Structure 1
């Protein structure tokens, strides 16, 4: 597979950014992406908590927008709050960190593991723009972990993909580039317009399709074929009007 980055959205405290950077260093990751981060001066808690990651990962962190994140990466949002079945689609289906490692093992795409705010995590609007959802199985009495704990558990389970001394699986899936995937989503949106899909259902239908594609990891050829089918169908419907 290609690289695995870690993205932190709107972190409230520098200390948590440092803790996540340290966990990244522990488990062989080095690309830290920050969306709307707090100030991270050298004298802040971020550097105090980062351990050896203060020498490379933390100072080299890249600040990007949420739009850039979902365009450039295959995204996996981490959340404690999920739905139990498919009747609600924003936080379902979800995978555990261990299942996620298996899922990403043969994926030829740059992936970003996305963590949200300390108190409220990722919003529904943010999660519905991500490709997959990951949740840590915990006690029903108290399932919410703090940000540093959650990051450490998820990154530990991904170590088979990121630690050099671990035998990596042979690539088995040539996933389409992310811009091609985004183009497929836009083509599908055009198809919904062409068939006059009910306006109030389009957002949910697009979200269902995004999650389906996020789990399927289509190849470039598969993506091109699907885009062609949606384009031809839309054109034919337009010609019949």
Structure 2
């Protein structure tokens, strides 16, 4: 599996440098920066120490959607108070979910938000799974580099997993399932039910490959039944 880390609009160069250092320590190397030039600041290099090559090779993207363009599955870190979704995987649960997904996806992105405001709800809606670090205090106290270190440490073992040979289409199975479910909600005239749509999109990210295949079969039967009824 490939694990690009995406930092969305980081403001402080020191935070980006410390994040790069955390990545290097845990064996991660691909950094994507969205809408920021903080990684080019000399302060980022000073803090990065032996991880300056990660900053030099970092790619720049105008939007999160663009940075996720070639990604098969994405995980975003967020504080519970910042999002409208109701399910959050712990770092340990995230590792278990990604371990199963390693058998059928190739590129998994870890997305981290702004230091002061995190990710917007629109940005959170673009990812497949939400996660956060349970803390003993009500006010979130982890800074960007600390959050990067927590998840790089938790997921570092997955870099050693050798995925089984799977059909090439499997990597796009989740995206196809999302589109199919959205199409069904539209046909049933319930696409405006934001709570239902959010719940469905979030839960799809938790499905294992065999469950995704079974849901495709179920949706096929539902679509066929709707066509037959309309024809009649």
For normalisation by structure 1, the TM-score amounts to 0.80
1:152, CA displacement in angstroms? Answer: 1.3
2: CA distance, partners of 1:226 / 1:81: 29
1:114, CA displacement in angstroms? Answer: 0.7
Is structure 2 residue 64 aligned with structure 1 residue 66? yes
Instruction: Summarize deviations over 1:162-196 as a string: whole Å, max 9, x none.
Output: 3xxxxx45647959644332121111111112222
Taking the TM superposition and a 5 Å limit, the aligned residue runs for 1:42-191 are: 44-54=42-52, 56-64=53-61, 65-73=63-71, 74-82=73-81, 90-108=84-102, 109=105, 110-162=107-159, 168=160, 171=163, 177-191=170-184
2: CA distance, partners of 1:46 / 1:177: 38
Is structure 2 residue 232 aligned with structure 1 residue 240? no
Whose helix proportion is higher, 1 or 2?
Answer: 2
109-118 vs 148-157, which moves further? 148-157
1:145, CA displacement in angstroms? Answer: 1.3
1: CA distance, partners of 2:198 / 2:162: 31
Corresponding residue number in structure 1 for 2:199: 208
Q: Structure 2 unaligned segments of length 5 or more: list them.
A: none
1: CA distance, partners of 2:213 / 2:89: 27
Corresponding residue number in structure 1 for 2:209: 218
1:138, CA displacement in angstroms? Answer: 1.1
Is structure 2 residue 7 aligned with structure 1 residue 15? no
1:234, CA displacement in angstroms? Answer: 3.0
2: CA distance, partners of 1:205 / 1:160: 35
1: CA distance, partners of 2:90 / 2:16: 23
Q: Structure 1 unaligned segments of length 5 or more: list them.
A: 84-88, 163-167
137-146 vs 8-17, which moves further? 137-146
8-17 vs 175-184, which moves further? 175-184
Q: Is the alpha carbon distance of 1:105 and 1:239 closer, same or farther for their aligned partners in structure 2, counting shifts above 3 Å? A: closer
Q: Is the alpha carbon distance of 1:177 and 1:13 closer, same or farther for their aligned partners in structure 2, counting shifts above 3 Å? A: farther
